[in-house]
Amino acid sequence: LSIQVEDYNDYAPVFRESRYSKKIPESFELNEEILTVIADDKDIGINKEISYFIVAGNDEGIFAINETSGIVTVAKRLDRETTTAHTLIVTAKDHGNPSLSSNATVAVVVTDTNDENPFLIIMQ
């Protein structure tokens, strides 16, 4: 006689922080890591495995997230003169059936870099 006990997906992933924030210069390189979001799930097996997604605040595709690691990176050039701050909503979703999820906020403040060419005004 063999009895196999399977885990019921009864725990949603929980972010270690509800709000992540970081200041970065507008000269930040493409694909450079801004920060890492981390969520934990008390289930076991596949119910414990988590994928990460940016679900709001990234309409222009400026940021990317690694679905497995939760590393948030710059996907497009930043321009502080256009936008000084970005607020992203990130979801951690487990692989259970049905899957459970939770959200965290990622605030990115873009600081100025001297990227404008100087010009001379001649007064007569």
Dump pLDDT digits (tens) for 24-71. 999 999 999 999 999 999 999 999 999 999 999 999 999 999 999 999
- Using alpha carbons, select from 25, 14, 55, 109 the residue that is nearest to residue 65: 55
pLDDT of 1 reads 84
- CATH code reported for the domain at 23-111: 2.60.40.60
Q: How far apart are CA 110 and CA 79, in angstroms?
A: 8
pLDDT of 22 reads 98
pTM: 0.87
pLDDT band at 118 (very low <50, low <70, confident <90, very high): low
pLDDT of 113 reads 82
Q: How far apart are CA 11 and CA 9, in angstroms?
A: 6
Taking residues 7-21, report their average pLDDT.
95
